[in-house]
Amino acid sequence: MTLYKRILFGVVFICLSLIGLIFINTQLILVDSYQRLEAQNATQNVERVLHVLQSDIDSLRISDIDWLEKPAPIRSIPEISNREFFQDNLLNRLSLDAKLSIALLLDRQNNIVFHNAINTNNGRTIAFPKSLLASIKPGSPLLDSVDSQKAIKGIIALPEGLLMTISVPVSGTGGHDTSGGRLVGGRYLDDEEIEHLADSTKVDVKVVPYNNNNIPSDFLRAKSKLDSANHYYVEPVNNQLVSSYTTMDDIYGKPVIMMRAQMPRFISQYGQDSINSFFASLLIIIVLLAAVVFLLLERTILSRLTSLNTGLAHARTSNNLTLEVLTTGNDEIATLTSNIKEIFKAHTQTKSQLQDAKDTIEKQVQERTAELTSANKRLEQELGDRKQANLVLTQARDKAIGELQLKSQLLANVSHDSRTPLTIIGLNTEMLQQGRHGELNDKQTEVLDRILNATRQLLNFVTNMLDEAQLKHGKMPFVNVTFEPKLLIEEFVSMLEPLAEAKGISLKAEIDLALPSQIKGDPDRLKQILTNLSENAIKFTDQGSVTVKAQRTDRLHWTISIIDTGRGIPPEAQTRIFEAYWQLNSTLKRDSNRGVGLGLSIVKQIVQLMKGTISVTSTVGKGTTFVVTLPIEEMAVSDTMLQLLI
């Protein structure tokens, strides 16, 4: 694409983009404004219709009736002579003066005295709406203000049609029961009334019952949009008409009718015509502006660039770096032409210098190539020597790993085979202590205690060695069964109480009531954790107490805390106590039964395999606290029922 075409395309694109941007903004702003004005106008029109209808309802009135001076009390249906009186003085006056087609008279006990209906146009009697009688009951809005002088007006939805209703109290001048009664009248909201609304407001009006199941689709759509927050709904019917909808409540305060006011969309049409005229004028202006811009570009830039391009093409084809273009003016294109001439001149000089440099570089490359060839041979020899050394190192490493695995397996076998005789020694010692083979004196009991403690220490050492080997090879077995944490901790504390009493310290358990009664896990591994932590606490506590505390921290976790009042652990040692075979240095008193430093390492590995954590806080001379946090896996309901059945 030539520069002419590109610039022309750019000018056209900018113009179209500008027109499109203005069009979009106009549509978003002006059209939306006209639509809001149209909706506001439609809402005002339907409000006017609603106001006229309310005015028609408010215009209902019932003149004072002089038949209340009749001496006979009005409590039941009167005699024939009184019926004629009612016909003349009540129904006719209501029909002619107030234009009410429905009449209903009640006494002070709300008993119906008289009711009738008449066509106000021809004076003929019509069927009285029996459904109106259902509204004449205690609590009805038509009867709420019996003792008030204020008239009640509104609309009632009857199966016979929508009735504009008025209810006024009746007050007589005699001393009879006519005072305190109620006179109810009404007129149907018929086609004549709707035509009156349309004539008064100069819009097309349509009224339908709110709860009618066969209302038109547009009313049904508007009904879904109208609520307590939105009293009006406006939608365009087509390009010529717009409709506005609203509702009106009955005397019960519930929607009774839906009203539609339909009118021409003269505001929207006027706005669209204005926008079209604006765009036509804008398009002409932009086209003229684009033509002027293009002509200016062609005269000041394009023609001169074409001349420069022709000169450059001639220089390229003739292989003669001279630019035969006149430099006129003092603008950017003239400066560009001068710079190109200087570049051509410098290029000729550089070309000669490059040829000289090329010859020098070729000579240096030949020399460097010979040096690299020699160095490559030396590197190949060195690489072969290193491969041989790596092979020797690999063989030595494999041999060391094999020996280490053999030692670990041997240690595990020795630890495993030692547990049985140590267990037998411990059991027989306990039997001797219990006097099963004869009574013992104090000295013998003391000696057996030392034997039993030494046996337990050695058994614990062997067990730790075996567990360490199993953990290192990933072969330690775990089970997931249901157990009672409270019972497990209490039994464990009871088992270690003699060991604590032998040192003159107290061992106690504190169990949170919020802890679940049953948890799934490995109780044997949990006992192993408690044993290692508690025996260490008893071992390094000379006076005071050791507390095993279990509590629930949140919905998914529970903790076991081993709290002692012993010697404590220095801060610099707290970061290393969980390392295998590591022990405190000689700055602390060395016990004869210190062990080999595997207990805490095994505890940490077991806790991690149980998806938990362990932490330690300690103060030298005041005591140490180990906290084990484990996840809670409560037994499901089905598992609980199965346990109960078993």
Report CA torsion sign: 585, 586, 590, 592: positive
Label residue 352 by pLDDT band (50, 70, 90): confident
Q: Name the CATH superfamily housing domain 477-645.
A: Histidine kinase-like ATPase, C-terminal domain (3.30.565.10)
pLDDT of 569 over the 80 cut: yes
Instruction: Choose between 414 and 55: higher pLDDT.
Output: 55
**What span, in angstroms and rounded, lies between the C-alpha atoms of 114 and 103?**
8
Least confident of 52-66, 99-113, 233-247: 52-66
Q: How far apart are CA 218 and CA 233, in angstroms?
A: 11
Q: Is the pLDDT of residue 69 over 50?
A: no
Is residue 484 very low, low, confident or very high in pLDDT (cuts 50, 70, 90)? Answer: very high
- Kindly report, as residue ranges, where domains of CATH 3.30.565.10 are found in the chain: 477-645
Distance (Å, whole) CA 618 – CA 572? 11
- The whole-number pLDDT of residue 490 equals 93
Summary count for the chain: helices (H), strands (E): 15, 16
DSSP per position, 330-367: SSHHHHHHHHHHHHHHHHHHHHHHHHHHHHHHHHHHHH
Cβ–Cβ under 8 Å, residues 581 and 464: no
If you average pLDDT over residues 243-269, what whole number do you get? 88
Predicted confidence (pLDDT) per residue in 199-245, tens digit: 988 899 999 998 888 889 989 999 888 887 888 999 998 888 999 99
Task: Decide which of 358 and 77 is more confident.
Answer: 358
Q: What are phi and psi of 114, to 5 degrees?
A: -160, 145
Confidence of residue 153 (pLDDT cuts 50, 70, 90): confident
pLDDT tens, residue by residue, 106-141: 777 777 777 778 777 777 777 888 888 777 777 777
Over the chain, what is the mean pLDDT?
Answer: 78
Q: Is the pLDDT of residue 175 over 50?
A: no
The mean pLDDT of 37-42, rounded to a whole number, is: 86
Percent of the chain clearing pLDDT 90 (strictly above) = 17
- Checking if the pLDDT of 270 tops 80, the result is no
* pLDDT recorded at residue 326: 59
Architecture label for domain 344-473: Orthogonal Bundle (1.10)
Most confidently predicted of 438-442, 628-632, 634-638: 628-632
- In angstroms, the CA 244 to CA 41 distance is 9
User: Is the per-residue pLDDT at 80 higher than 70?
Assistant: no
411 versus 589: the higher-pLDDT residue is: 411
Q: What is the pLDDT of residue 565?
A: 94
Q: What's the average model confidence in pLDDT over 336-343?
A: 75
Question: What pTM, to 2 d.p., does this model score?
Answer: 0.41
Task: Give the pLDDT band of residue 432 (cuts 50, 70, 90).
Answer: confident
Which burial class, exposed, middle or buried, applies to 484 when counting CB atoms under 10 A from its CB (0-12, 13-18, 19+)? middle
Domain with CATH 1.10.287 in the chain: 344-473
**Average pLDDT in the 35-40 region?**
84
- The reported pLDDT for the residue numbered 252 is 83
In this prediction, residue 362 carries a pLDDT of 85
